[in-house]
Amino acid sequence: MVVVREAAPSDAAGIGAAHAEAWRVGYCELFGEAFLDSAVEDRRNRWVSQTVRPAADGSALLVAELDGDIAGFVHAGRATDDAEAGEVFGFYVHPRYWGTGVAQALFDRAVHILRADGLDHLFLWTHGGAQRARRFYERNGWSVTGRVRQHDFGDGHQSLLVEYAQDVTRTLTRLD
This prediction has a pTM of 0.89
Predicted confidence (pLDDT) at residue 167 exceeds the cutoff of 70? no
pLDDT over 90, % of the chain? 78
Structural domain for 66, as ranges: 3-172
Cα 52 vs. chain centroid, distance in angstroms?
16
Mean pLDDT computed over 122-141: 96
Q: Render pLDDT for 58-85 as a digit per residue (tens, 0 to 9).
A: 789 999 999 999 999 999 999 988 888 9
Q: What is the CATH number of the domain that holds 116?
A: 3.40.630.30
Q: What angle do CA 74, 129, 141 make, to 5 degrees?
A: 55
Look at residue 55 in the predicted model and tell me its pLDDT: 63
Q: How many domains does the chain have?
A: 1
Sign of CA dihedral 13, 14, 20, 21: positive
**Pairing relation of β-strands 60-66 and 143-151?**
unpaired
